[in-house]
Each structure stands twice: as C-alpha cells, then as structure tokens.
C-alpha cells in the first residue's frame, strides 16, 4: 500500500495539512469503495464462480463442474487445424482489435503530435483539443448510424464514386462489413489514443528537441529517438484502452457489421439472452484472461505506474 | 501566433491537412444526419434532400412504432441526473481521502482503474448474474417462509439498482482521475492558512477547497451525465425490464428505415451538446467570479 501515494500521483501523503483526521479518510473513501465492491468485485467473482456452476430449470446451482468450458471448446482441439467456432470468433475479434489498434495508434499519434508540437499558442491548442473531444460526449450509437447516409448503397460515397465514373455499380463493402466496423472503431476510439499520447507529449521538455537538432538529428531521427521513447507511457495507456474496448465490443460489431459479424462480446450477449449463464460466464472469464494478458504484456514494455 | 522569422516547416502543412481531415471525419457524419433529419416527408435515408421539413421530428414526437421512445428518453434523463449527482458525491470524498494515507489505498486505486479497463460486457454480465442470484435467493426465501411482503416479487434488477450501479462503475473512475489531476495541482497552503486562522476541517472544505475546485467538479458532473446518457455496453445485461434510450436506440437501428432515426439522433446529440455547453458556461462563470473576487 506504500506505493499508493506515488501511484495516484498524489504526493501529498507526507504533507502536514493532511496528517490530521486520518480516520476521516476511511469514511470518505467508504461509499466509493462499497460501490465498487457491490458492482464490480462481487460481480467479477460471481462470474468466475458461475462459469463452474450448473444451470437447470431456471435456477443456478453451485455444483462445481467444467461443463461450460467443455461446451465452449467442444471439438476445438481435435479438429485442428480447422478452426472451431470459438477459436474462429476469438481470432476474428483479435484481428479487429489489432486493426483498430494500428490505425488509431498512427492517427492518434499524428494528431497529438500536431497539437503538441505544431500548434504554438496554448489557447489555440486547448480549443483544437476540445474540438476533438466534443464528439466523445455524444452518443456512440448515433455516431455509428451517422455513417449510413455516407456509406450505404445509395450513400454519398457511392454517389460520388459513380458520379466521377470510378465504379459503375455501388460498392457493397462500404457498409455492414469488416471495413465499416474498423472505420467505426477508428471514428469512436482514436480519442482514447490521442489524449494520453498528447498528455505525454505535453510533458516533453522542448529543449530536448532543440538539443537533438543541434546535435545534427534529422526530424525523423528526433521523432524516432527522442519523441517516441518519451511518449511510450501515453502510447501504452492508449493501446490498453483501445485494445480492451475492441476486445469486449459487441455494439459496434453488431451495428456496423449489420448483425452478421461475430465477436466474443456478441457471443456472450447472445448466450445471456438464451439464458446460457455458465457458458456466457466461461466466455467472459476467458475474455478477461486474454485482456489481462494483453495489459500485462503492454505494461512489461513500460512502467506506467511511474507516469500516472 | 507565429513568432518572427519562425517559418512553418512543411511537416506543419501536412499535419494541419491531416488534422482538418480528422475533424471532418469526426463531425461530417453527424452533420449529415442532422441535415437529413430535416428531410421532406417523401425523403429517404440518403441524400439528396427531398424538400426541407420538420415532418420527421413531428413523427418522432408521436412515438416510434411500438417503442415508447419518450418514456425511455425520460428514464435515461433521470438516470443520467442521478448518476451525475452520485458521481460527484462519491468521487469527491474519495478524492479527498486519497490525499491522505489509508490502508487499502493502492488496492482501491487499482480497482477503480481496473473498472475502466475490464470489458464492459464482462462487468455487465457479472452484475446481471449477481442480481439473478439475489432474485433466486429472495424467491426461495419467499417460498420457504411464505412471507406476504415477498409474494409477487419479480426482480431486484432495475434502473436505479443494477443499471445505476453499472453506470457508476464507469463514471466514478473518470471522476476520481479528474480529481487526482485537480488535487495534484492544489496548493495546500490555502488550507494551512485557513487552519491557522482557526477554521475547522469542515469549514476549510466548504469555504476554501470547494470554491477552488468547483470548476473541476462541474467537469466531473459533465462526465457523469454524458457517459450515463450514452451508455450501452455496461447497461445491456444489467437492466431490468425497461430499457434506457441508448438501448432502445440500438434496437431501432435495425428496424427503423426512415429519417425518423436521424431526427432522434439530432435530438439526443442536441441534448448532449446542450449539457456540454451548460457545463462549459458554468466553468467559465465560476472562473470569472473567482477572478473578480481575487481582484
């Protein structure tokens, strides 16, 4: 617990004014902690538990068994190399996550770089930053629906393409396709990449860049050897956000995939709606395991605790 | 903006062009549906506009098919208000507590951050299962004891129980992180001064700390409301019988094939923007008042 003060970035643990009234801290934190206990910790524990339970006659009974996992991975090992449904779904979700990650990383980095290093006045920087964040506060579903008039069969893009004679028939793959799913992820989540990277960039001492230039580094060399290493914490935090969101997604894949594309989240949702609780829970446990593994790997790359 | 003799490198123009395209990418689609929501009565889901009218708004006003969209609208609005209030009321004391040391501090911090990172569908499923188990237990109890007040018990899950909890697991971490940033920059000298002048901790909080951090609390409230107003994934398995607006909206995307859905999108986006506007105006007024007071 010693690390807490450092972890949170609140370094006032030793400061005099807060020494008194230490008991008050417990009362102040208690409601907050209770909420997470009731609606986060207990649900997660129950999810793990239920994945080993039985569900018959509409009642969950705590009889430990591995049926849910057996059902989930049925035929997955013996039918290799052909993929079972579960493996195919997990791989497809992973592929979406990697595609969305790659695009949001490059785009988010470029936008953050522009704001941090090319926009020189702070008010202008804040204004442009705010311009990028406003859509974050509006409905994601509406932002997905908003692609219909642009990408649909008779949408603006198809009209334009046919108008200039680039194609003679409307392109079908623009909407309700893998393309539109990735596009929507980029549309919705580039911000999650951009904000932490911008935050890292804002802390970079500008004299370091000058020093690099004075030492004869080209701008690409400065970018690669100075800026990117110093932005690592932001990149890692942004990557964690984007990867975990996409890995668990079912709404975007559902709407932008025209309800035709599978994802882990969607499988869980469907199993819940068919009251297959233990299997849904087993899927959730595996998903959680994969996500935690990704986070672990990413935090191995860089110690973000120091940076928060 | 430009300093003398400081010419823009070519990279600036490339990145400026990229940034402009990005902003167009962010706002273009939304603008398209706002325009299309004013389609004429015979207009369809795509351009061109077939006349200009408020036909689809009046149609929306009468309701969308079988779904009582305005009831859902009201539910989401009320839930958003409650989430907003609770986010501030729970995150603020927690933020204050984190300025001191207490046992379990690190664990609590990690739990809050984990709540942001664990996929929403997992949290939602967990809460759904939790309430199902509660329901099973209560029903078993009702059968076992025959207690009258438990007769007819259906479920404990609902808007202000499971859904509210699910929303708070999403809004509170944001609130806490904002408060961390705020208290990081907070100068404890103000509090010391108040204490030296004989103020009790309560009075110091009320007359010194709160006025200083008020603009940030508006920000926390903004996060609380807007995140709740748009929440789908965490609510999906943790809602009782009655859906919130975004959940209804999700269903409507596959069934509604008229510009009515654009009209609905325009209305909900307008509400989000109005809330952001009010919050920004609030922050500005608070700042100005403080600036005036310090003069």
Q: Which residues of B touch A145 (CB under 8 A)?
A: 33, 253, 261-262, 265
CA A251 to chain B, closest CA, distance in angstroms equals 7
Please give the pLDDT value at position A219.
85
Are A32 and B172 in contact (CB < 8 Å)? yes
Q: What is the pLDDT of residues B146-183, one digit of tens each?
A: 787 777 788 888 889 999 999 999 999 999 999 998 99
Q: Which two tokens stand for residue A189?
A: 């989540």
Q: Is A197 exposed, middle or buried (0-12, 13-18, 19+ CB in 10 A)?
A: buried
CA A79 to chain B, closest CA, distance in angstroms equals 29
CB B119 within 8 A of CB B104: no
Please give the pLDDT value at position B1.
44
Window from A14-23, A196-205, B145-154 with minimum mean pLDDT:
A14-23
Q: Select from A23, A27, A2 the least CA-distant residue to A13.
A: A2
Rounded distance between C-alpha atoms, residue B230 and residue A50, angstroms: 29
Q: Which of residues 126-155 of B touch A (CB under 8 A)?
A: 126-130, 132-133, 136
Please give the pLDDT value at position A308.
54
Are A150 and B32 in contact (CB < 8 Å)? yes
CB B239 within 8 A of CB B63: no
CA B288 to chain A, closest CA, distance in angstroms equals 17
Rounded distance between C-alpha atoms, residue B237 and residue B166, angstroms: 10
What pairing do the DSSP bridges indicate for beta strands A59-61 and A54-56? antiparallel
Rounded distance between C-alpha atoms, residue B217 and residue B235, angstroms: 25
Are A40 and B1 in contact (CB < 8 Å)? no
Q: Top-level CATH class of A75-306?
A: mainly alpha
Q: What integer is the mean pLDDT of A149-168? A: 86
Q: Which residues of B touch A21 (CB under 8 A)?
A: 100, 201
Q: How far is CA A81 from CA A72, A78, A148, in A?
A: 17, 8, 38
Cis peptide before A81 (omega within 30 of 0): yes
Q: How far is CA A116 from CA A46, A252, B77, B187, in A?
A: 44, 30, 37, 27
Q: Which residues of B touch A248 (CB under 8 A)?
A: 119-122, 233
CB A38 within 8 A of CB A46: no
- Residue A23 in 3-state DSSP? helix
Please give the pLDDT value at position B112.
94
Q: Which phi and psi (to 5°) does residue B87 adopt?
A: -60, -45
Q: Which two tokens stand for residue B205?
A: 């909080």
Are B93 and A31 in contact (CB < 8 Å)? yes
Q: What integer is the mean pLDDT of B183-208? A: 88
Q: Which residues of A touch B23 (CB under 8 A)?
A: 131-132
Q: Which two tokens stand for residue B85?
A: 């209030």
Window from A122-136, A291-305, B81-95, B124-138 with minimum mean pLDDT:
A291-305
Q: Which residues of B touch A47 (CB under 8 A)?
A: 122, 125-126, 129
CB B50 within 8 A of CB B44: yes
Show the DSSP H helices in chain B as ranges.
10-36, 55-61, 69-97, 105-117, 120-145, 164-184, 189-196, 201-204, 210-229, 233-236, 245-255, 260-294
pTM reported for the whole predicted model: 0.87
Q: What is the pLDDT of residues B42-55, one digit of tens each?
A: 877 877 787 888 88
pLDDT band at B90 (very low <50, low <70, confident <90, very high): very high
Q: Which residues of A touch B268 (CB under 8 A)?
A: 138-139, 142
pLDDT band at B65 (very low <50, low <70, confident <90, very high): low
Rounded distance between C-alpha atoms, residue B210 and residue B188, angstroms: 13
Task: Determine the straight-line distance between the first and last CA of chain A, rounded to whole angstroms.
Answer: 16
Rounded distance between C-alpha atoms, residue A101 and residue A238, angstroms: 9
Q: Select from B269, B264, B237 the least CA-distant residue to B253.
A: B264
Q: What is the pLDDT of residues A96-147, one digit of tens each?
A: 999 999 999 999 999 999 999 988 888 898 889 989 988 888 888 999 988 9
Rounded distance between C-alpha atoms, residue B186 and residue B182, angstroms: 6
Who's near A175: CB < 8 A, 6+ residues apart?
A147, A148, A151, A152, A153, A155, A256, A258
Who's near A286: CB < 8 A, 6+ residues apart?
A72, A90
Q: Select from B133, B87, B231 the least CA-distant residue to A35.
A: B87
Are B1 and A120 in contact (CB < 8 Å)? yes
Q: Which residues of A touch B119 (CB under 8 A)?
A: 244-245, 247-249, 265, 287-288, 291
Window from A68-72, A224-228, B131-135 with minimum mean pLDDT:
A68-72
Rounded distance between C-alpha atoms, residue A162 and residue A289, angstroms: 47
Please give the pLDDT value at position B2.
45
- Alpha carbon A265 to its chain's center: 13
Who's near A290: CB < 8 A, 6+ residues apart?
A90, A94, A247
Return the residue in B18, B98, B228 with the most chain A beta carbons within 10 A, the one to mutate for interface testing.
B98
Please give the pLDDT value at position B284.
87
Query: Please, what is the average pLDDT of chain B?
Result: 87
Q: Does A221 touch chain B (CB under 8 A)?
A: no
Please give the pLDDT value at position B130.
94
Q: What is the pLDDT of residues A39-95, one digit of tens each?
A: 999 999 999 999 999 888 777 788 888 888 988 888 777 777 778 888 889 999 999
Q: Does A125 touch chain B (CB under 8 A)?
A: no
Who's near A249: CB < 8 A, 6+ residues apart?
A96, A185, A263, A265, B119, B121, B233
Please give the pLDDT value at position B68.
80
B66-255 fold: MetI-like fold (1.10.3720)
Please give the pLDDT value at position A82.
78
Q: Select from A204, A276, A199, A240 the least CA-distant residue to A101.
A: A240
Q: Pick A141's closest partner by Cβ from B32, B195, B250.
A: B250
Q: Does A18 touch chain B (CB under 8 A)?
A: yes
- Residue A2 in 3-state DSSP? coil
Q: What is the DSSP letter of B7?
A: P
- Domain residue spans of chain A: 75-306
pLDDT reading at B188 higher than 50: yes
Window from A77-91, A285-299, B109-123, B187-201 with minimum mean pLDDT:
A77-91
Please give the pLDDT value at position A18.
46
Are B28 and A150 in contact (CB < 8 Å)? yes
The CA radius of gyration of chain B, in Å to the nearest whole number, is: 24
pLDDT reading at A1 higher than 70: no
pLDDT reading at A13 higher than 60: no
ipTM exceeding 0.85? yes
CB A71 within 8 A of CB A279: yes
Q: Which of residues 77-136 of B touch A (CB under 8 A)?
A: 89-91, 93-94, 96-112, 114-123, 125-130, 132-133, 136
Rounded distance between C-alpha atoms, residue B246 and residue B230, angstroms: 6
User: What's the angle, vertex CA B68, arms to CA B64 and CA B72, rounded to 5?
Assistant: 115
Rounded distance between C-alpha atoms, residue A287 and residue A293, angstroms: 10
Query: Please, what is the average pLDDT of chain A?
Result: 86
Instruction: Please give the residue of chain A at the shortest CA–CA distance from B116.
Output: A241
Tally C-beta pairs within 8 A across A and B: 318
Q: How many CB atoms lie within 10 A of CB A19?
A: 11
Are B100 and A8 in contact (CB < 8 Å)? no
- Residue B42 in 3-state DSSP? coil
Helix or strand holding residue A54 (H, E): strand A54-56
Q: Which phi and psi (to 5°) does residue B237 adopt?
A: -95, -5
Rounded distance between C-alpha atoms, residue B115 and residue A41, angstroms: 9
- Residue A59 in 3-state DSSP? strand
Q: Does A241 touch chain B (CB under 8 A)?
A: yes
Rounded distance between C-alpha atoms, residue A114 and residue A109, angstroms: 9
Q: Which residues of B touch A22 (CB under 8 A)?
A: 100-102
Q: Pick B130's closest partner by Cβ from A2, A24, A46.
A: A46
pLDDT band at A154 (very low <50, low <70, confident <90, very high): confident
Return the residue in A3, A24, A32 with the most chain B beta carbons within 10 A, the one to mutate for interface testing.
A32
pLDDT reading at A19 higher than 60: no
pLDDT reading at A3 higher than 70: no
Q: Pick B105's closest partner by Cβ from A4, A42, A187.
A: A4
pLDDT band at A307 (very low <50, low <70, confident <90, very high): low
- Residue A61 in 3-state DSSP? strand
CB B112 within 8 A of CB B173: yes
User: What's the angle, vertex CA A301, arms to CA B111 and CA B234, rounded to 5?
Assistant: 35
Please give the pLDDT value at position A16.
44
Q: Which of residues 150-189 of A touch B (CB under 8 A)?
A: 150, 152, 154-156, 159, 187
Instruction: Please give the residue of chain B at the shortest CA–CA distance from A284.
Output: B122
pLDDT reading at A7 higher than 70: no
Are B30 and A135 in contact (CB < 8 Å)? yes
Q: Which residues of A touch B222 (CB under 8 A)?
A: 137
Sign for the CA dihedral angle at B8, B14, B17, B22 comes to negative
Strand partners, A60: A55
Q: Does B229 touch chain A (CB under 8 A)?
A: yes
């Amino acid at each position: 617990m010693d690390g807490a003060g450092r972890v949170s970035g609140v370094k006032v643990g030793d400061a005099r004014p807060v020494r008194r009234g230490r008991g008050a801290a417990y009362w102040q934190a208690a409601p907050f902690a209770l909420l997470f206990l009731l609606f986060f910790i207990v649900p997660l524990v129950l999810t793990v538990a239920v994945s080993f339970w039985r569900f018959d006659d509409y009642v969950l009974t705590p009889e430990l068994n591995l049926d849910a996992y057996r059902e989930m991975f049925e035929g997955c090992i013996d039918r290799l190399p052909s993929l079972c449904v579960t493996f195919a779904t997990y791989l497809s979700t992973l592929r979406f996550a990697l595609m969305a990650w790659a695009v949001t990383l490059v785009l988010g980095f470029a936008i953050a770089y522009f704001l941090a290093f090319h926009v020189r006045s702070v008010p202008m920087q804040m204004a442009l930053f705010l311009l990028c964040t406003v859509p974050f506060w509006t409905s994601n579903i509406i932002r997905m629906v908003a692609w219909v008039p642009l990408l649909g069969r008779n949408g603006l893009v198809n009209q334009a393409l046919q108008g200039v004679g680039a194609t003679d028939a409307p392109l079908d793959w623009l909407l309700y396709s893998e393309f539109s799913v990735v596009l929507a992820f980029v549309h919705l989540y580039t911000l999650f990449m951009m904000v932490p990277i911008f935050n890292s960039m804002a802390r970079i001492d500008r004299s370091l860049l000058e020093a690099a230039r004075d030492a004869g580094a080209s701008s690409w060399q400065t970018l690669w050897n100075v800026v990117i290493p110093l932005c690592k914490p932001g990149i890692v935090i942004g990557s964690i956000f984007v990867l975990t969101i996409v890995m668990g997604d079912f709404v975007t894949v559902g709407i932008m995939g025209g309800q035709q594309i599978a994802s882990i989240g969607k499988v869980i949702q469907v199993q819940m709606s068919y009251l297959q609780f233990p299997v849904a829970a087993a899927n959730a446990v595996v998903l959680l395991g994969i996500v935690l593994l990704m986070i672990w790997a990413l935090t191995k790359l860089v110690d973000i605790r120091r940076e928060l | 903006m430009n300093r003398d003799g400081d010419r823009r490198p070519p990279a600036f123009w490339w990145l400026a062009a990229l940034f402009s395209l990005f902003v167009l990418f962010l706002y273009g689609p939304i603008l398209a549906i706002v325009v299309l929501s004013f389609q004429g009565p015979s207009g369809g889901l795509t351009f061109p506009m077939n006349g200009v009218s408020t036909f689809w708004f009046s149609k929306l006003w009468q309701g969308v098919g079988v779904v009582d969209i305005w009831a859902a609208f009201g539910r989401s609005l009320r839930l958003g208000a409650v989430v907003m209030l609770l986010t501030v009321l729970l995150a603020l004391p927690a933020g204050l507590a984190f300025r001191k040391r207490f046992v379990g501090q690190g664990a609590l911090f990690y739990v809050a951050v984990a709540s942001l990172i664990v996929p929403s569908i997992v949290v939602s499923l967990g809460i759904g299962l939790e309430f199902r188990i509660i329901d099973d237990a209560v029903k078993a109890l009702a059968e076992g004891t025959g207690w009258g007040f438990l007769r007819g018990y259906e479920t404990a899950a609902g808007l202000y129980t499971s859904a509210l909890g699910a929303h708070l697991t999403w809004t509170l971490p944001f609130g806490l992180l904002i408060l961390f940033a705020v208290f990081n920059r907070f100068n404890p000298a103000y509090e010391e001064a108040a204490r030296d002048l004989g103020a009790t901790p309560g009075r110091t909080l009320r007359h010194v700390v709160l006025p200083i951090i008020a603009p940030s609390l508006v920000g926390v409230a903004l996060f609380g409301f807007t995140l709740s107003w748009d929440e789908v994934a965490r609510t999906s398995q943790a809602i009782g019988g009655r859906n919130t607006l975004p959940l209804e909206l999700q269903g409507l995307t596959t069934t509604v094939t008229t510009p009515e859905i654009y009209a609905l999108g325009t209305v909900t986006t307008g509400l989000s923007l109005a809330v952001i506007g009010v919050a920004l105006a609030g922050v500005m007024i608070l700042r100005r008042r403080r600036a005036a007071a310090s003069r």
